Structure 1
Amino acid sequence: MTVRAPGLRGGQALIGGDRRIPLYHRIHDQLRDDIESGLLKPGDRIPTEAELSARFGVSRTTVKQAIQQLVHAGLVYRVQGKGTFVGQPRIPRRLVGLISFHEEMRQRGFTPATELLEAAVVPASRHVARALGLQPGAPVLRLTRRRLADAEPIALQTHYLPGEMAELAEDPQVATGSLYEAMERRLGRRPSVGREEYTAVVVSGEDARRLGVPDHSPALAVRRYASLSDGQPVEYTESLLRADRYTLHVELKDER
């Protein structure tokens, strides 16, 4: 008789296949397949190390290696004293095209929301002035917003816009929705070209609290430089994206 572990397909054949592949990697692949196919759903507790060890007929050390790979991939997370659980699906961020957060979330099937944390006209620092093609000290509109997907905080963004766009601070949509849609509706223009720079960072303190993650959590720091079609800079944005909720997708092609 075959005993089935919760959320797993039965039979020792689960870790069959190419014997050159380490056992822990084959167990990882099986668990990952169960998660990505929906057999194990977000919030489900995966079987314990002891249960998986018995199920696959391997040592707990081997199982621990497999689970650690899943943790590193952001597919599962541990809760002290309770077990290991399937994480929420990651949001694929495709590095092609210029799109607003709300448009991106709607395309991915999430319900977007925005919380305005600060709106102020401030003197441009040197790096902000350089990004917007202004003189240092020139007035710029600074907007700090928390972005949510399905009511969960996933990003913090600080936008800098030329001072001539200061009226956007009064637009209700900026406080709750898409900045780009507000720009287009109110000013008749929105960015059409841009570039982004990504850096791996660790967040703590107020940033971690606002993102709803523990201190020393990994994140992606993003700088966006956006312009109108004629090359006029209209936006410089610094973002912090939760690394446990985002996956970067890069399209590559042979340019020879």
Structure 2
Amino acid sequence: MKPMVASTPRYLVLAEELRARIEGGVLKPGDRLPSEAQLCATNGVSRGTVVRAIEQLVSQGFVTRRQGAGSFVANRSLHRKAGHLLSFSQTARQDGHRSEQRLLAFRQADDAEAQQFGVAAPAHRLERVRLIDGEPCAVHGSVIPAAVCERIGLAGDDAAALLEDPEFSLYARFETAGLAVREARERVTARLATVAECAVLAVAAPSPVMVVFRTSYAADNLLVEAVEAVYRADFYTYDTHLVRGERHAGSGLRIVAAGADF
């Protein structure tokens, strides 16, 4: 737990104490937090202090509220911050989680698929389930130019064996082949999961999902991957830092890069 100075507001002290219990495994995902009355009595604070402490944990993605039932420890979520480019595996590791993948399909993409993803044919389609601490949290559908697949070793007979490795990392293969991702562009939307996605992600329909469409580029603006990543909403937290600035292209806000992961 981070040391608190004497002037630290009491609600932040309480929030940090509860977060330490969550991160230490004392309170596990799905556990109900003590009631507001219990927290008031145990910590000698007012109800307002308890409410603000819980709000702090909700905003950080550690706690969820259920109307009429109380506050519960949230499922382990990937915390993404705008501006810092990391792979899915790196993001999970940075957050203290174990990541894996499970291959669904690897085949040649048809021309319509490639065009839809903005990739010039010929290209290959890679579909994977991504897991955090053994639990499925996302489905990644990538379209990769055939020339890139050849450079990273996914064009030969051993491609399937490589992709069956639970620890396979596409970004790591790019880097080894001299195609390290330098920048990416992405769009984040929300919708309901399809029936197939619900089955793969082990959630009941209807379930909300966050959809991240990203195009990744190596040096010289070389497109190496276009991917649609469908995340379970309870496994996805997107953080960004906004400050008021001069208006640009109709916006009164500008986004300050704070740290993006994938």
Q: Same fold (TM over 0.5)?
A: yes
Give the Cα separation in 1 of the matches to 2:215 and 2:20: 37
Do structure 1's residue 121 and structure 2's residue 108 form an aligned pair? yes
Offset, 1:45: 3.3
Give the Cα separation in 2 of the matches to 1:105 and 1:189: 22
Do structure 1's residue 150 and structure 2's residue 133 form an aligned pair? yes
Match for 1:201 among 160, 170, 191? 191
Aligned with 2:21: secondary structure? coil
Aligned partner of 1:214 in structure 2 is 204
Aligned partner of 2:251 in structure 1 is none
Task: Give the 4+ runs in structure 1 shifted more than 3 A.
Answer: 29-35, 45-52, 82-85, 126-130, 171-175, 251-256
1:192-221 deviations in Å (ceiling 9; x for gaps): 111110001111422012112221111101
Aligned partner of 2:27 in structure 1 is 41
Aligned partner of 2:253 in structure 1 is none
Match for 2:63 among 75, 82, 86? 75
Aligned with 2:198: secondary structure? helix
Offset, 1:224: 0.3
Cα 1:45–1:254 shift into 2, 3 Å: closer
Offset, 1:237: 0.1
Offset, 1:229: 2.1
Cα 1:76–1:34 shift into 2, 3 Å: farther
Give the Cα separation in 2 of the matches to 1:35 and 1:212: 29
Give the Cα separation in 2 of the matches to 1:223 and 1:130: 9
Give the aligned residue type for 1:157.
Answer: H
Cα 1:216–1:129 shift into 2, 3 Å: closer
Aligned partner of 1:90 in structure 2 is 77
Give the aligned residue type for 1:178.
Answer: S
Give unmatched runs, 5+ long, in structure 2.
1-9, 247-262
Match for 2:154 among 144, 157, 168? 168
TM-score by length of 1: 0.67
Aligned partner of 1:233 in structure 2 is 223
Aligned residues, how many? Answer: 214
Give unmatched runs, 5+ long, in structure 1.
1-16, 18-25
Aligned-residue CA RMSD in angstroms? Answer: 3.7
TM-score by length of 2: 0.66
Give the Cα separation in 1 of the matches to 2:225 and 2:215: 6
Q: Using the aligned pairs only, state the percent identity.
A: 29
Offset, 1:48: 7.3
Aligned partner of 1:189 in structure 2 is 179
Higher relative contact order (CA 8 A, sep 6+): 2
Give the Cα separation in 2 of the matches to 1:128 and 1:174: 24
Aligned partner of 2:233 in structure 1 is 243
Cα 1:87–1:130 shift into 2, 3 Å: closer
